[in-house]
């Protein structure tokens, strides 16, 4: 973007969870037109009253992304109206790093600037969206919304009421063009009304797991408020709306007559909608407009129908969890985690044979900038929270990206970040091992299993845990390999070898021929023992024995869906021919259970919705791992 445009906001003091509307005019010659636009926090664009596009890329104020949108087909020769509504979050969460409330745009007619943001841009706070509502869906998603259709006017078409000149926001942010494609918005999904209670209470089935924008059309005889709840499953005939402090609902005020409304700000991950009206309504439809990342799937056929079905649903799960970036789940969080994305990116290489999207994910994570030198729990995140082990997963996914894509430019660009995060771990080491991090912002989590899930938002006593040390060793190995690819000097392999010797000394139980989870204790898990083999601490007979134990009757804490990949990788490393059928059968058994229970996407854990106090996700990207194993084994 050029210096002609300015960052602007409406003539009012910005507050969190507020909406501002902006209007400008431009002349179109009839050739081509493009709009360059960026906002904090989200935007929706209209040309001559028609919806064009929406969706600010999740970014940082110091890595500010703009979109370059072809608007030619929306323009008419001569005078046109540009209308933009910006939703400013203003409150940090696990998927938003706050900046100043602001909009910046430049519109080009051919190669000539036709209009741009500045003090002359007309603006106002939106009368139809409730400003300062501050109703939170979840801590990861952020705010819900309340929209009042009776307060809507013709501003999108240029009929202005209550608009004033905009205020220039004094900031100069480094600008970068969106590194991935914009989302495609599809046609409205067909839906079925499962329950209609006196035309005031409706339960609606979309038919399968979906991600999209709420859209509804109805007739009301009076002005009234609708509460629209959404979710992935129903219980006792209702969508489970309230789960702890979470509230999976939005609100829409309708007037007398027909209301036709679509919200292009908030993507909903769901299968079911539930509408609660104050009085009778005639509901024509309530559904979603699917939004998805545009890419081409690699077609694969398998002789076994169950394998084919598991593969297809795994790919569908991936697609539902990739929008601006890979996200853990579309219903509850929509957040980019280093661990989750490692599984997703690896599967994506086989499902889509595409590298631009994963590169952007990894680059975005490199822009995180915590004071303690670790990666934040998610990216971008304004929360002071980190999972130290997830920072180590980052090295695995960067290494795999470089290996699969052959692209050395990413690793070169982010090498300072790779070195600095690894230095944080190495500087934290004591007596040849790394102890746990102990501040309240450090969540010593490894996976959702007994003795491995850590303490969230609580201080931890310093301890020596095998998973963290094995993952550090693995990260050092991956960093060494990255340096080799780049032709850069590295002493990381020697550090990893010395660390592995200490891992065996402190964590290996010779009597049971297993590695313990924690020094001085006698608890064992598939994850820790898998990591011990993968990092090279367990070799030869030790590794063979671990594989034998893990594939037989044992009392180890079992690896969950997200971490079973490490167990499978160990078995393939030790003897692919011997353990191939074991891996395929294990996948069949676990995933068939979900399919038999009606899954249209794969779950966060095998417990499904009942896990995490009834907050278990039924669509979770890390569970798409069959894509990888079926691709390499069949």
Measured from the Cβ of residue 481, the count of other Cβ atoms closer than 10 Å reads 17
Beta bridge partners of 138: 142
Exposed, middle or buried, 496 (CB in 10 Å: 0-12/13-18/19+)? buried
Q: In terms of Cα–Cα distance, which of 6, 377, 412, 385 is closest to 173?
A: 6
- Give the Cα separation of 47 and 57 in Å (integer): 21
Instruction: Render pLDDT for 18-73 as a digit per residue (tens, 0 to 9).
Output: 999 999 999 999 999 999 999 999 999 999 999 999 999 999 999 999 999 999 99
pLDDT for res 236: 87
Note whether 5 and 108 are within 8 A (CB): no
**Residues 14, 156 within the same domain:** yes
Whether 530 is in a domain gets the answer no
Specify if 344 maps to a domain: no
Q: Are residues 456 and 372 in the same domain?
A: yes
> Among all chains, which residue has been given the structure tokens 């939106």?
126
In-domain check, residue 606: no
Residues of the chain short of pLDDT 70, as ranges, are none
Residue 217 and residue 176 in one domain: no
596 within domain boundaries:
no
Number of domains the chain is built from: 3
Residues 502 and 380 placed together within one structural domain of the fold: yes
Do residue 389 and residue 461 come from a single domain? yes
Distance between CA atoms of 401 and 410, rounded to whole angstroms?
9
Q: pTM of the prediction?
A: 0.97
Same domain, 200 and 119: no
Residue 450 lies in a domain: yes
Rounded Cα distance, 461 and 23, in Å: 56
Tell me the three-class secondary structure of 99-144, residue by residue. CCCEEEEEEEECCEEEEECCCCCEEEECCCECCCCCCEEECCCEEC
The string of DSSP letters for 329-357 reads -TTTT--B-HHHHHHHHHHHHHHH---HH
Q: Which of 488, 519, 550 is the last residue of a domain?
A: 519
Those residues whose C-beta lies under 8 Å from the C-beta of residue 320, and which sit 6 or more positions away, are 209, 210, 211, 269, 330, 601, 619, 621
Residue range 119-141, pLDDT digits in tens: 999 999 999 999 999 999 999 99
Q: Are residues 75 and 176 in the same domain?
A: yes
Which residue among 519, 550, 571 closes a domain?
Answer: 519
Residue 510 and residue 378 share a domain: yes
Q: Do 175 and 189 fall into the same domain?
A: no
* CATH number, residue 500: 1.50.10.10
Same domain, 499 and 408: yes
Last residue of a domain, one of 491, 519, 547: 519
Question: Domain range spanning residue 65?
Answer: 8-132+149-160+171-181
603 in helix, strand or coil? coil
Say yes or no: 177 and 209 in one domain: no
What integer pLDDT is reported at residue 34 of this predicted model?
A: 98
Tell me what pLDDT residue 460 has: 83
């Amino acid at each position: 973007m050029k210096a002609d445009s300015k960052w602007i906001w409406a003539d009012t003091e910005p507050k969190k969870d507020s909406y501002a509307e902006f209007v400008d005019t431009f002349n179109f010659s009839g050739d081509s037109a493009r709009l360059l636009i960026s906002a904090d926090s989200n935007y929706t664009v209209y040309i001559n009253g028609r919806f064009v596009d929406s969706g600010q890329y999740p970014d940082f104020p110091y890595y500010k992304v703009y979109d370059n949108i072809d608007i030619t087909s929306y323009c008419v020769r001569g005078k046109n109206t540009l209308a933009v509504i910006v939703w400013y979050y203003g409150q940090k969460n696990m998927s938003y790093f706050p900046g100043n409330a602001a909009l910046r745009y430049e519109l080009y007619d051919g190669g000539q600037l036709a209009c741009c943001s500045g003090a002359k841009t007309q603006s106002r706070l939106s009368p139809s969206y409730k400003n300062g509502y501050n109703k939170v869906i979840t801590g990861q998603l952020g705010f819900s919304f309340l929209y009042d259709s009776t307060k809507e006017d013709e501003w999108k078409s240029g009929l202005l009421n209550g608009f004033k000149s905009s205020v220039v926001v004094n900031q100069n942010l480094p600008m970068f063009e969106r590194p991935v494609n914009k989302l495609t918005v599809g046609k409205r999904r067909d839906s079925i009304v499962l329950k209609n209670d006196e035309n005031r209470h409706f339960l609606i089935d979309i038919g399968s797991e979906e991600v999209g924008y709420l859209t509804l059309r109805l007739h009301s005889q009076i002005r009234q408020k609708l509460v629209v709840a959404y979710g992935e499953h129903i219980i006792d005939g209702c969508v489970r709306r309230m789960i702890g402090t979470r509230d999976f609902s939005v609100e829409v005020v309708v007037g007398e007559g027909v209301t036709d409304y679509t919200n292009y700000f908030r993507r909903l991950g769901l299968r079911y909608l539930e509408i609660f009206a104050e009085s009778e309504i005639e509901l024509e439809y309530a559904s979603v407009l699917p939004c998805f990342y545009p890419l081409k799937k690699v077609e694969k056929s398998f002789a076994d129908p169950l394998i084919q079905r598991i593969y297809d649903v795994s790919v569908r799960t991936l697609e539902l969890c990739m929008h601006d970036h890979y996200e853990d789940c579309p219903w509850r969080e929509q957040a980019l985690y280093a661990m989750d994305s490692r599984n997703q990116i690896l599967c994506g290489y086989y499902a889509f044979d595409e590298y631009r999207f994963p590169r952007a994910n990894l680059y975005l994570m490199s822009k995180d900038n915590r004071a303690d030198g670790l990666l934040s729990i998610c990216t971008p995140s304004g929360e002071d929270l980190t999972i130290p082990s997830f920072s180590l997963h980052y090295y695995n996914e960067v290494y795999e990206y470089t290996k699969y894509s052959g692209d050395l430019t990413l690793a070169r660009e982010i090498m300072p970040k790779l070195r600095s995060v690894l230095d944080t771990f190495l500087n934290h080491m004591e007596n040849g091992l790394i102890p746990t991090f102990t501040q309240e912002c450090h969540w010593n989590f490894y996976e959702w299993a007994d003795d491995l899930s850590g303490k969230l938002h609580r201080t931890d006593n310093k301890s020596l845990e095998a998973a963290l040390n094995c993952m550090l060793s693995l990260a050092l190995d991956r960093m060494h390999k990255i340096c080799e690819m780049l032709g850069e000097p590295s002493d990381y392999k020697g550090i990893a070898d010395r660390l592995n010797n200490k891992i065996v000394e402190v964590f290996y139980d010779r009597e049971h021929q297993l590695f313990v989870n924690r020094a001085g204790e006698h608890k064992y898990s598939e994850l820790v023992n898998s990591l011990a083999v993968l990092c090279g601490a367990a070799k030869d007979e030790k590794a063979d024995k671990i594989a034998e134990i893990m594939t037989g009757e044992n009392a180890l804490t079992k690896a969950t869906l997200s971490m079973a990949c490490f167990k499978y990788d160990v078995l393939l490393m030790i003897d692919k021919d011997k353990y191939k059928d074991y891996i395929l059968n294990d996948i069949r058994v676990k995933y068939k259970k979900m399919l038999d229970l009606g899954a249209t996407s794969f779950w966060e854990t095998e417990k499904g919705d009942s896990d995490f106090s009834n907050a278990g996700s039924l669509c979770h990207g890390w569970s798409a791992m069959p894509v990888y194993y079926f691709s390499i084994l069949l």
